[in-house]
Amino acid sequence: MMNEPPPSGENTRAVHLPPPPVPGQAPIGTPVWRTAAFSFGSSQEYADVLGDRAPGYSYSRVDNPTADAFADGVAALEGTRLSAGVTGQAFASGMAAISAVFLAFAHTGAHVVAPAAVYGGTYGLLADLLARFGVDTDFVDMTDLAQVRAAIRPQTRIVWAETLANPTMAVADLPALAEAAHEAGALLVVDSTFATPVVCRPLEHGADLVVHSATKYIGGHSDATGGVVVGRSELIAPVRAVRIETGGMLAPDEAFLLRRGLETLPLRVHRQCDTAAALAAAIAGHPAVAKVDYPGLPGHPGHEIARRLYDAGPEGTRFGAIVTITPHGGYQAGMALADGLRLIRVATSLGGTHTVVSHVASTTHRQMDAAALAAAGIDPGAVRFSIGLEDADDLIVDVTNALTAVPRTHEPEGASIPYAGDSR
């Protein structure tokens, strides 16, 4: 082949350009393998790679090197203190990752135990979509171990938890939940989006799988969407199979951005946690505030569990960077608080460099009716603050000014909740 003359047709020459060089030196930055397909030396090699009988890449819906580099990075951070190997799978969004876990392990007739205060997208998936396919779910207070144990059945396949609940910031007692799940032969799967590996690594506390919406803190700049599942290889294999069959693969350009975010994750999250603690402490006593949900406050129900499970640095325990503020006055007061902010933005998602807010009942938990919100302990006026990288004093002034202008109204019964998104 090497001695054959080059093709003479201009179109053929344009298509069959010389291959790019493969450097012998390791790149500092992550290469972006922006290709849908890979070629092979033979048909047998193609068949073996596609059939997982030989290592390699065939098609980027199946596997992509940049996506694998990202998933491997998250697995390394989550499994840093574990002797057993941890692997991961990357997805196009956090909800794609969450869906793949349930599709892999919760078949028709299976039962799931999940938090009453679960993220709204997870609630909708379980209560609506998966219920149509014969998956039954009990939503319980995950901070009450007796409730969790009472809800578990012989058919229970997954106990689902959130390291830090969205938006109540309830703290999951991961070792106790792992014990309860494993006694019943179920998996403990933890959505650790709010915590990140910088705050807590659930695999160290008995979890079987960890899920992240990488769109949030892992990416960190509100410019990429993705999700990831990490855990032991034998549990990741069926998750990968679902990803391949359903097509929820992470694109290589997004994978590059998300992996880049891992390199600054500790620096950003340390700062965000410090600022969140300062804001929560400053606002907790404001006369317009009914409640501040932040586990760094000594009065928070999960404070001691967080101190036991979460990482600590020179600044003390890291309690996360989400602060949920509930003003007096119900639904309309919460909307007024969000709209009264000037520096802080009303925006979708969280975990980026900018501090942003969502009025919970009308956005992130719009799938829940009034009864479900009440069962989850979510007040209609609750406003979730995702703390960014601004100076704490500037944020405190902005929130204080907005609270001063909040009217003391009460939400009438049956008020409608408009649509807005907080995608994972």
CA angle 199, 313, 201 (to 5 degrees): 25
Indicate the residue type of 72. Answer: D
3-state helix, strand, coil in the chain (%, to 5): 40, 15, 45
- Cα 372 to Cα 21, 80, 115, 261, 365, distances in angstroms: 57, 37, 11, 35, 10
Which position among 63, 68, 119, 259 bears the catalytic label? 119
Using alpha carbons, select from 217, 296, 221, 230 the residue that is nearest to residue 91: 230
Q: What pairing do the DSSP bridges indicate for beta strands 209-213 and 289-293? A: unpaired
Residue 283 host element (H or E): helix 252-283
* Catalytic site includes residue 123: no
Q: DSSP labels for 45-112? A: HHHHHHTTSS-S-SBTTT--HHHHHHHHHHHHHHTTT-SS--EEEEESSHHHHHHHHHHHH--TT-EE
Alpha carbon distance 196, 265 (integer Å): 9
Alpha carbon distance 112, 372 (integer Å): 17
Q: Quick one: tokens of 160? A: 């689902």
* Catalytic site includes residue 260: no
* Catalytic site includes residue 53: no
Which position among 216, 268, 318, 366 bears the catalytic label? 216
* Catalytic site includes residue 132: no
Q: Quick one: tokens of 307? A: 């101190």
Which position among 46, 48, 57, 61 bears the catalytic label? 61
- Angle, in degrees to the nearest 10, between helices 252-283 and 392-404: 60
Alpha carbon distance 46, 42 (integer Å): 6
Which position among 191, 274, 379, 398 bears the catalytic label? 191
Alpha carbon distance 141, 148 (integer Å): 7
For the annotated catalytic residues, the residue numbers are 61, 119, 191, 216
